[in-house]
Structure 1
Amino acid sequence: MRWAVVESPIGELSVAVDEVGVCGVRFGAVDGAPPASSLAGTAGMGLSRAVAELRSYFAGELVDFTLPLSVRQGSEFERAVWGEMTRIPYGETRTYGQVAAIVGDVSAARAVGVACNRNPIPVIVPCHRIVGAGGKLVGFGGGLPRKRQLLELEARVTFQQAWGG
């Protein structure tokens, strides 16, 4: 597994890849991870691609990540929730209850929240798009200010694409 630290509007993010694809995103710098600007050569090709897509996302140029993912943990329920997160369109949200119903257990809204908290690849697997009932901003491993920033970025880009602004 190789890590790199990416500067972003929500602070430093550490991104990791293995031989399959992106396997981790952490808020802040992971100890020993080099800055993304130091990546060179083909040895960091997967990592370079992950960094490039994250930068494009934060620049408002990328609305769909195309990176291969490598998720080796999680219960069957958590994996179902993480899979559903990837189907929430850019600029849209779903409630914890809606996701619970989609994955087959209408009473599991709290469990969806736990799965969101255990998401190993936040931002790329967009747990920030899951909100509380009535659109309330609740629960985010990176903190609510970051969740708000991510949702505002996506809303702004969606508006600009729709209205040519």
Structure 2
Amino acid sequence: MKKAMKKLVTLLMVACLMVSNCITAFAGEWKKDTEYGGYFWWYQRDDGSYPVDCWENIDGKYYHFDFDGYLETDCITADGYHVDENGEWLQDIPQMSQEEMDEYYKSLYKEVLIDLYEYGFVSSEEEFEYYVNLYFPDPVEAEFVMNEIRSNYSMGSAEY
């Protein structure tokens, strides 16, 4: 009886090992984009697809991917949530209101315009005005931004 029980246990263990070797484990995988200096990350799901313009729960943490499928990091997402330098949602920081989002993006646009102006990425005042009006369609606000930048920065004065 003892010998039969030992054979049965051995047989069951062998059967379990055979079955476990037949099961393929799939797991999502983080990928680094090599084209842009390895700066951008994306995620390949178990089924081979990629999250695009959405939130994704990966190992119990929420991440946001942009419209190209890249992980958003150290920013405020388009829907007003904060993500850290690893792209993880900072749940303890509340979602921004639409007004806060508008102000946030205006400040970003202004930083871009300052760089365009100061580093000489625009070739003329007319081109600079074009970009200001593109980002600030309200003429009064555009004029204010142009005057503020012109009074504090010189076109093409910075070196990169």
TM over 0.5: no
Give the number of the structure whose alpha-carbon radius of gyration is greater. Answer: 2
> When the two structures are superposed, what TM-score results if normalisation uses the length of structure 2?
0.25
Q: Flag the structure with more relative contact order, 1 or 2, with Cα contacts below 8 A and sequence separation at least 6.
A: 1
